[in-house]
Amino acid sequence: MRAITFIEKLRFEPDHPEPMPTEGECIVKVRLAGICSTDHEIVKGYMGFRGIPGHEMVGDVVKGSPEWVGKRVVAEINCVCKTCDMCQAGLSSHCRKRTVVGIAGRDGCFADLVAVPEHNLHEVPETIPDESAVFVEPIAAACQIIQQVSIDHRSNVVVVGSGRLGLLIAQVLAKTGCKLEVVGRNPKTLLFCEKKRIRSTSVESLIPRNDRDVVVECTGSPQGFDIALSLVRPRGTIVLKSTYADGTIPNPAAIVINEINVVGSRCGPFPDAINALARRDIDVSPMVARSFPIERGLEAFQASRQPENIKVLLKINPR
Amino acid sequence: MRAITFIEKLRFEPDHPEPMPTEGECIVKVRLAGICSTDHEIVKGYMGFRGIPGHEMVGDVVKGSPEWVGKRVVAEINCVCKTCDMCQAGLSSHCRKRTVVGIAGRDGCFADLVAVPEHNLHEVPETIPDESAVFVEPIAAACQIIQQVSIDHRSNVVVVGSGRLGLLIAQVLAKTGCKLEVVGRNPKTLLFCEKKRIRSTSVESLIPRNDRDVVVECTGSPQGFDIALSLVRPRGTIVLKSTYADGTIPNPAAIVINEINVVGSRCGPFPDAINALARRDIDVSPMVARSFPIERGLEAFQASRQPENIKVLLKINPR
């Protein structure tokens, strides 16, 4: 099968071996896949990943149990043991023995076929087009924030980072009715916010006032934390979404002095994300900048690094 | 009056000007004062403080409103405006315009006399000796943890750092009935824990298992955060107590991946600390290693840096 692989460097392989499903797994034929910041971090060495990257996708089940074959699906990325203390405690996304699709110990979806546990699959309602369904994984990650932190119409919230994830987070948070602002560097993405009636501010014109209840840091860079610290109020919350291969958090004394709550936030609930798309709470179509066939996957990675391209998709087996 | 001052370097001044109380302030004649890690950080440049350091003390009100004069008191360290948004929101310890006794913008208690707002005073019950009352401020800081984080008999808790603050925190947390362990480097302080029937482990023999619900980081050094990250379970809480002049938090990706909650924690409730001492929940007497008259304050600072001296006091006007 065709696949993008990362072993020291990224390459396109026209004839990669097909995945062999193990007990309880299905094979999904990938229609579309999304390139995300984590994929770029993987290419920089994040998680020491080797294999086929890619964890955002929509596709069709082509092999596995009869109840799934033929269905159009998205798939949760944490593949879990169901027996460890975390799984038993209902925290299976933190399974001690987990593999993560395209991120840790398991091939991902930048390929014709990907093996995933049947347990991870979610059928996509017909009303959601492929170009939206491919965003379910990052929208779920955005939805995770409101699972972890209480945000309502009284909350003063700022999203630091107007990249791919930031724009999804902003749309999810906007639905809470909170007082919302997005801070970013990219005029194109800030304009996107304004079109969605979400207040946006460029980093350069930011006035740090330490008056926000909740600051979501999703810049993907350690500098974002400094900005977050300058915005959050004493006893406020910084939600940390960025993962990067290297970096440190500066100025931990400020966390103590202002008694800040820093909440790490990772994967989230797929059903909430699917519902948000079905209800049209979130509009992802203006975010897709370019699509590439898998053979031009390396070019797609390059394009995805350009700020003007909010989201770049791989058309692998499009309908 | 006699005072220890810090202006570029620490010195003893035999004839420092006496403090002038402003509206609403009392003058306290200091009996005993405690040297804490924050004082050492101030000497390293923390907060850019200049003046008389010292914020842990017990003394007698000698000037001020008649209802206070003659009383033996301890004093909260945050001096607040009562009008800013934080004060109005009930978060006066985060007052925007606050000064902090001996830490920020206001002289402290390493002197014969110190001015403090009357509002900050708490009378000390007769049953609490001076040598215990001088610990009220750091005990309050320890009590703050159980105000911020839910800890009960089911909680698996570890205190990283067996220094002055760590030993107080351990005793406060022990009263919750939680499964408690103290991790430290100093055999003397670990022995102190064992005598209090608190399980203790040396850093060297620590097995990082990522299985603790709550980790309190009070080592006073950035390395402590790394240890905390190796102990806390996914979705667990790290309480950050250390403040240091320099330093960064390494490996923020681990906070995100394991969805850790990092809670900064600073000053706490004085009434809880006074009650804990009155009930003899906390035993501080074995912690006092040495006492020095204020004239030997610089020597006291030196002694306080030695690991074998858990707590060093300044006897300023002892009874």
Question: Residue B245: is its pLDDT beyond 70?
Answer: no
Residue B22 lies inside a defined structural domain of this protein? yes
DSSP character at residue B132: H
Residue A254 lies inside a defined structural domain of this protein? yes
Phi, psi dihedrals of residue A78, rounded to the nearest 5°: -90, 120
For chain A, the straight-line distance linking the first and the last C-alpha, in angstroms and rounded, comes to 18
Low-confidence ranges of chain A (pLDDT < 50): none
**Cα of A262 to nearest chain B Cα, Å:** 5
Question: Residue B197: is its pLDDT beyond 90?
Answer: yes
Give the model's pLDDT for residue A289: 85
Give the model's pLDDT for residue B242: 84
Q: Does the distance separating the beta carbons of B248 and A91 come in below 8 Å?
A: no
Structural domain that includes position A25:
3-135+284-315
Q: Does the distance separating the beta carbons of A262 and B243 come in below 8 Å?
A: no
Q: Are A170 and A141 in contact (CB under 8 A)?
A: no
User: What would the mean pLDDT of B109-134 be, rounded to a whole number?
Assistant: 97
Residue A151 lies inside a defined structural domain of this protein? yes
Same domain, A113 and A228: no
**Cα of B78 to nearest chain A Cα, Å:** 12
Q: Which of B225, B243, B257 sits opposite A243 (nearest CB)?
A: B257
Q: Does the distance separating the beta carbons of B249 and A252 come in below 8 Å?
A: yes
Same domain, B23 and B109: yes
**Tens-place pLDDT, residues B257-266:** 999 999 999 9
User: What would the mean pLDDT of B179-194 be, rounded to a whole number?
Assistant: 94
Chain B residue numbers touching A85 (CB-CB < 8 A): 211
Distance, in Å, from the CA atom of A165 to the CA atom of A140, rounded to the nearest integer, reads: 10
Same domain, B171 and B65: no
Residue A272 lies inside a defined structural domain of this protein? no
Same domain, A21 and A119: yes
Residue B273 lies inside a defined structural domain of this protein? no
Question: Residue B45: is its pLDDT beyond 90?
Answer: no
Chain B residue numbers touching A243 (CB-CB < 8 A): 253, 256-257
B210 confidence band (pLDDT: 50, 70, 90): very high
Same domain, A144 and A244: yes
Same domain, B128 and B9: yes
Same domain, B212 and B310: no
Give the model's pLDDT for residue A302: 96
Q: Does the distance separating the beta carbons of B265 and A148 come in below 8 Å?
A: no
Query: Residues B176-190, buried b or exposed e (16+ Cβ, 10 A)?
Result: eebebbbbbebeebb
Distance, in Å, from the CA atom of B92 to the CA atom of A290, rounded to the nearest integer, reads: 51
- Measured between CA atoms, the residue of chain A closest to residue B226 is A248
> Within a 13 Å sphere around the CA of A180, how many CA atoms are in the beta-carbon half?
24
Residue A66 lies inside a defined structural domain of this protein? yes
Q: Which two tokens stand for residue B131?
A: 């040598």
Same domain, A86 and A34: yes
**Cα of B195 to nearest chain A Cα, Å:** 30
Residue B108 lies inside a defined structural domain of this protein? yes
Q: What is the CATH number of the domain that holds B200?
A: 3.40.50.720
**Cα of A96 to nearest chain B Cα, Å:** 9
Q: What angle do CA A158, A144, A214 make, to 5 degrees?
A: 25
Phi, psi dihedrals of residue A34, rounded to the nearest 5°: -110, 145
pTM score of the predicted model: 0.94
- Measured between CA atoms, the residue of chain A closest to residue B86 is A234
Query: Residues A57, A63, A65, A68: what is their CA dihedral angle, to the nearest 10 degrees?
Result: 40
Residue B277 lies inside a defined structural domain of this protein? no
Question: How many structural domains are present in chain B?
Answer: 2
